[in-house]
């Protein structure tokens, strides 16, 4: 009852906030019409836009509060898993959309920087220009060496894409891994820690990695590209190793990706945007620009550019058990990072019109190396006896149906994961290829080996499948 009351109250607040946004916009429109006093007009406009931002923040917070109340209302009922699933879809969708906008803009500006015409017919104050055609229109862009004489009133900033990507990603981390820490974050066969400790280590590691990275950038090493790359890569490997020794392999992968992603956003938040703000301020006050600001921002931007492909690869590898299912998961993680950063390096060189013969082939070879070392062994052991479906059913009953059935008895999964059930021999046979992949090759099922399957049992399943998976 209390919950429903609270929900109604939040809903009324939400409606009021939405009405307020219309009200503020009307005032804004009205104000734009009479522009007699520019200074007064500007300060009024600023406070209006601040008010609008607060109202938007209020709307988001109210929605979060409503979802939290709904969560507590359905907790312990069959709707709990359903709600989490929908939150998972919606937040994931937001995360991907913001991420595309952010990385898209980042790629676009790196492309601009690389492809600018820097020599032909340039005014003195320009660093370069570029013609482009897109979506049925011609565009002409100019880059200033330092700053224009007068900073224009409407200046576009690119920052919210980055912030929203991070916020939605962080929410997703909670929805998928932290709410279900005991099932997904922690693997007792790796390290037996409490959910609370696991979450603390996860979040703490993001802070530590940022501090280390930031110090490294600010140290003299930051100016020496090759040395910085080598030391940075070693540290990244160390984090990958650390994560796989603390979390389940899959959670380790997502934490590694989230760590790189967090560094990227922190670069935007703590370095790039503040530098740009200082530059705009100096230009407005007609003060000389500190060239270090632009250089610093440029360097962090370049690092971010190299992080993009590794982060994307790591994020999707999370859905492919042959990556994190390898017996040294950190090694695949490291290889993917280096190989995909190499691909990015090639693209950067190419945009600058530089010939790079070996960068792409070597990067691809490195990536193929990951596929090669994680391949299943050719001869995993002989099958000396014929395995019957009864023996397999027995194993599956003991180790799988606690999750994979119409009425799971598992303490966490209340519906069959991915809708996969193994209640009849037919259902087992239909999924034999997936079973081989998950149980025999990558050993990522049973999840975190919660039901303690033995290697012998895995071998029996393998032999049964190799012998033709007969149900007679
Ligand atoms: C603790 C619960 C649990 C147990 C026990 C378990 N699984 Fe799973 N299984 C899951 C979850 C959760 C997923 C979906 C997430 C994923 O793919 O990792 C899944 C996915 C799968 C998939 C992939 C389905 C798809 O559509 O891609 C297969 C195959 C599978 N399990 C087979 C098995 C087999 C065989 C066993 C027993 C040897 C087993 N599982 C035991 C939880 C479990």
Secondary structure in 3-state letters for 274-309:
HHHHHHHHHHHCCCCCCHHHHHHHHHHHHHHHHHHH
Beta partners for residue 464, in sequence order: none
The pLDDT confidence band at residue 271, using thresholds 50, 70 and 90, is: very high
Quickly state the pLDDT bin for 80 (edges 50, 70, 90). Answer: confident
Cα separation, 454 vs 449, whole angstroms: 9
Provide the pLDDT for residue 384: 84
Distance CA 443, CA 427 (A): 20
pLDDT at 146: 79
Rg (CA), the chain: 27
* Residue range 275-303: mean pLDDT, rounded: 87
Query: In which band, very low, low, confident or very high, does the pLDDT at 141 lie, cut at 50, 70 and 90?
Result: very high
Q: What is the predicted pLDDT for the residue at 464?
A: 93
Specify the higher pLDDT residue, 267 or 327: 267
Cβ of 101 below 6 Å from ligand 1: no
Average of per-residue pLDDT values in the chain: 90
pLDDT of residue 214: 96
The predicted structure's pLDDT at residue 35: 60
Q: Name the CA dihedral angle for 428, 434, 440, 445, rounded to a multiple of 10 degrees.
A: -80
Span from the CA of 246 to the centroid of ligand 1 (angstroms): 22
Ligand 1 atom nearest 395 alpha carbon: 38
Q: Torsion angle of alpha carbons 55, 60, 65, 68, nearest 10°?
A: 180
List, for residues 189-245, the tens digit of each pLDDT value. Answer: 889 999 999 999 999 999 999 999 999 999 999 889 899 999 999 999 999 999 999
Nearest one of 141, 135, 136 to 156, comparing CA atoms: 141
pLDDT, tens digit, for every residue of 28-70? 888 777 666 666 667 777 788 888 889 999 998 999 899 889 9
380 vs 349: which has the higher pLDDT: 349
The pTM of this model reads 0.86
Task: Give, as one character, the DSSP assignment of residue 386.
Answer: P
The per-residue pLDDT for range 428-468, each reduced to its tens digit, is 999 999 999 999 988 899 998 999 999 999 999 999 998 88
Distance between Cα 417 and ligand 1 center (Å): 6
pLDDT at 286 over 90: no
The whole-angstrom separation of Cα 121 and Cα 355 is 26
Q: Tell me: the pLDDT tens digits for 92-122?
A: 999 999 999 999 998 898 888 888 999 888 8
**Residue 356 pLDDT:** 81
Cβ–ligand 1 distance for 250 under 6 Å, the answer no
Res 380 pLDDT > 80: no
| pLDDT at position 173 | 95
Which amino acid residue places its CA nearest to atom 20 of ligand 1?
Answer: 417
Q: Tell me the pLDDT tens digit for each residue of 343-352.
A: 999 988 888 8
- 79 vs 85, 308, 466, CA distance in Å? 10, 37, 41
User: 150 falls in which pLDDT band (50, 70, 90)?
Assistant: confident
For residue 109, the tally of other CB atoms under 10 A from its CB is 14
Measured between its terminal Cα atoms, the distance across the chain in Å is 56
453 lines ligand 1 (CB under 6 A): yes
């Amino acid at each position: 009852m209390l919950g429903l009351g609270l929900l109604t109250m939040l809903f009324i607040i939400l409606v009021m906030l939405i009405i307020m946004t219309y009200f503020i916009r009307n005032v804004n429109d009205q104000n734009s019409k009479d522009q007699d006093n520019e200074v007064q007009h500007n300060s009024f406009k600023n406070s209006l836009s601040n008010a609008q931002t607060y109202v938007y923040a209020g709307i988001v917070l109210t929605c979060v509060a409503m979802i939290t109340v709904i969560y507590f209302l359905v907790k312990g009922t069959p709707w709990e898993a359903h709600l989490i699933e929908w939150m998972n879809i919606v937040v994931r969708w937001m995360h991907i959309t913001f991420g595309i906008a952010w990385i898209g803009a980042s790629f676009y500006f790196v492309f601009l920087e690389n492809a600018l015409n820097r020599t032909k017919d340039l005014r003195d104050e320009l660093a370069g220009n570029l013609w482009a055609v897109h979506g049925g229109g011609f565009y002409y862009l100019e880059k200033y060496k330092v700053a224009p004489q007068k900073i224009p009133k409407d200046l576009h900033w690119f920052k919210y894409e980055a912030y929203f990507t991070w916020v939605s990603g962080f929410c997703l981390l909670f929805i998928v891994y932290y709410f279900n820490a005991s099932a997904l974050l922690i693997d007792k066969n790796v390290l037996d820690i409490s959910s609370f400790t696991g979450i603390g280590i996860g979040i703490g590691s993001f802070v530590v990695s940022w501090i280390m990275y930031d110090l490294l950038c600010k140290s003299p090493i930051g100016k020496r590209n090759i040395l910085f790359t080598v030391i940075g890569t070693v540290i990244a490997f160390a984090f990958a190793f650390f994560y796989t020794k603390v979390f389940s392999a899959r959670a380790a992968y997502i934490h590694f990706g989230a760590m790189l992603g967090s560094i990227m956003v922190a670069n935007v938040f703590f370095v790039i945007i503040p530098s740009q703000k200082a530059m705009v301020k100096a230009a407005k006050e007609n003060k000389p620009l500190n060239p270090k600001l632009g250089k610093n921002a440029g360097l962090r931007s370049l690092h971010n550019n190299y992080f993009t492909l590794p982060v994307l690869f790591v994020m999707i590898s999370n859905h492919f058990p042959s990556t994190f299912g390898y017996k040294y998961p950190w090694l695949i993680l490291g290889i993917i990072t280096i190989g995909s950063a190499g691909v990015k390096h090639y693209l950067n060189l190419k945009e600058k019109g530089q010939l790079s013969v070996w960068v792409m082939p070597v990067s691809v070879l490195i990536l193929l190396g990951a596929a090669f070392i994680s391949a299943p062994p050719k001869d995993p052991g002989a099958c000396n006896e014929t395995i019957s479906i009864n023996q397999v059913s027995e194993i599956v009953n003991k180790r799988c149906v606690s999750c994979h059935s119409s009425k799971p008895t598992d303490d966490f999964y209340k519906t069959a994961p991915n809708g996969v059930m193994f209640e009849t021999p037919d259902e087992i046979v239909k999924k034999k290829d997936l079973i081989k992949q998950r149980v025999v090759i990558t050993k990522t099922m049973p999840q975190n080996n919660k039901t303690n399957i033995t290697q012998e049992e895995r071998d029996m399943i393998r032999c049964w499948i190799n012998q033709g998976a007969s149900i007679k």
